[in-house]
């Protein structure tokens, strides 16, 4: 639990270890959530000893903010149970366009803002779904995407799959 100045007032021993390196200004910015914020605020990931940690915050009253720390590696087991097609990738973004998680893991670290982050931020702000085709920024590979805001949360889930993977079965059947 943080007070209005961002000072830690109550935490488990393990939680204190994770947030020990936080700059006071960062903690204060989290504790100063405006009254109109959603019930659950997803803050940019923190770097911890065990990988990226996602702070989940909730205003408790005018003077206190509750914070839960979710290790992002813990999400990997949940993602592994999803029936993803071959070559598909899932990405989770916060309201500021930070990449929170990627499955399967790839060369994109959590916490970074990709080149097209503003598109994600705009779609999330408007709470709209999006889908279509674009090209990967890294290598120009054509890919399909579908993006949906997660209901009740300030996060966007995006599924990606290369055109080659999507079309492969059809190309095989037709001899293309």
Each residue's pLDDT expressed in tens, for the chain with a length of 176 residues: 777 666 778 888 877 777 766 655 566 666 566 665 557 777 767 766 666 777 787 877 777 778 888 777 666 666 667 777 777 888 888 888 888 778 777 777 666 788 778 888 888 888 889 888 988 877 888 999 888 888 777 788 888 898 888 888 888 888 87
Report pLDDT for 49. 65
Is the model's pTM score more than 0.85?
Answer: no
The pLDDT assigned to 25 comes to 56
Query: What is the model's pLDDT at position 34?
Result: 63
Beta strands in 14-88 (DSSP E): 41-42, 46-48, 51-61, 64-71
What element of type H or E holds 87? Answer: none
Nearest to 66 by CA among 9, 150, 5, 151: 9
- Rounded to the nearest 5 degrees, what angle is found at the Cα of 74, between the Cα atoms of 165 and 78? 45
> How many C-beta atoms lie closer than 10 Å to residue 71's C-beta?
15
Count CA atoms closer than 13 A to 66's CA, side-chain side: 7
Q: What are phi and psi of 113, to 5 degrees?
A: -105, 120
């Amino acid at each position: 639990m943080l007070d209005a100045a961002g000072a830690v007032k109550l935490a488990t021993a393990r939680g204190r270890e994770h947030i020990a390196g936080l700059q006071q200004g960062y903690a204060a910015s989290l504790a100063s959530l405006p009254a109109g914020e959603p019930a659950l605020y997803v803050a940019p990931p923190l770097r911890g000893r065990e990988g990226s940690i996602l702070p989940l915050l909730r205003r408790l009253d005018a003077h206190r903010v509750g914070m839960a720390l979710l290790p992002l590696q813990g999400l990997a087991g949940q993602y592994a149970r999803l029936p993803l097609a071959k070559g598909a990738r899932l990405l989770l973004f916060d309201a500021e366009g930070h990449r929170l998680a990627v499955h399967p893991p790839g060369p994109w670290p959590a916490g970074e803002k990709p080149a097209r982050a503003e598109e994600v931020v705009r779609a999330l702000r408007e709470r709209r779904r999006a889908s279509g085709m674009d090209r990967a920024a890294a290598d120009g590979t054509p890919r399909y995407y579908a993006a949906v805001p997660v209901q009740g949360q300030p996060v966007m889930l995006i599924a990606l799959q290369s055109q080659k993977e999507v079309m492969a079965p059809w190309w095989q059947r037709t001899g293309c």
